């Protein structure tokens, strides 16, 4: 039995749900258990490009808040966390071809 669709969470739509599925996050329960920071790390590792807006929207979504509710010191603190995560996370693979080559063992896993 599958869990609740990620797109049922406020601010998170079908495109984000597909990205989560590709990153090994199959449902809303798994996403909530991981938390925004670790879920975003999985997205980066799976090849998603880093975007600060997406990072803070995910934080707001998991708190049940409107995406544009992130302001001031809270937004500044999330920016510091995002920049650190981006610096320590190497996205792999970046392309569909890289993903396929990685799956069959042609390129080294990072």
pLDDT in tens, 27-81: 999 999 999 999 999 999 998 989 999 999 999 999 999 999 999 999 999 999 9
Does 14 score more than 60 pLDDT? yes
Measure the CA–CA gap between 107 and 43, rounded to whole angstroms: 20
Backbone angles phi, psi at 92, to 5 degrees: -150, 135
Write the DSSP symbol of residue 9.
Answer: S
Whether residue 93 is preceded by a cis peptide bond, meaning omega within 30 degrees of 0, is yes
Statement: residue 109 has pLDDT above 60: no
Mean pLDDT is lowest, of 11-25, 34-48, 95-109, for 95-109
pLDDT for 91 beyond 70: no
Helical H segments across the chain, by residue range: 14-22, 28-45, 52-62, 72-88, 96-103
Instruction: Give the residue among 56, 50, 82, 51 at the shortest CA–CA distance from 71.
Output: 56
Handedness of CA 25, 83, 52, 99 (dihedral sign): negative
Interval 89-101 mean pLDDT: 63
Instruction: Yes or no: say if 26 and 39 are a contact pair by the CB < 8 Å rule.
Output: no
Average pLDDT over residues 19-27: 95
Question: Could you give the domains of the chain?
Answer: 6-103 (1.10.150.20)
């Amino acid at each position: 039995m599958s869990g609740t669709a990620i797109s049922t969470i406020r601010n998170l739509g079908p495109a984000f749900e597909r990205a989560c599925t590709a990153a090994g996050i199959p449902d809303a329960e798994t996403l909530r258990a991981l938390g925004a920071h670790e879920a975003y790390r999985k997205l980066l590792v799976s090849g998603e490009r880093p975007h600060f807006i997406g990072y803070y929207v995910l934080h707001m979504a998991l708190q049940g808040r409107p995406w544009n509710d992130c302001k001031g010191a809270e937004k500044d603190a999330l920016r510091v966390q995002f920049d650190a995560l981006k610096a320590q996370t190497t996205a792999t693979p970046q392309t569909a071809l890289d993903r396929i080559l990685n799956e069959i063992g042609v390129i080294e896993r990072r």
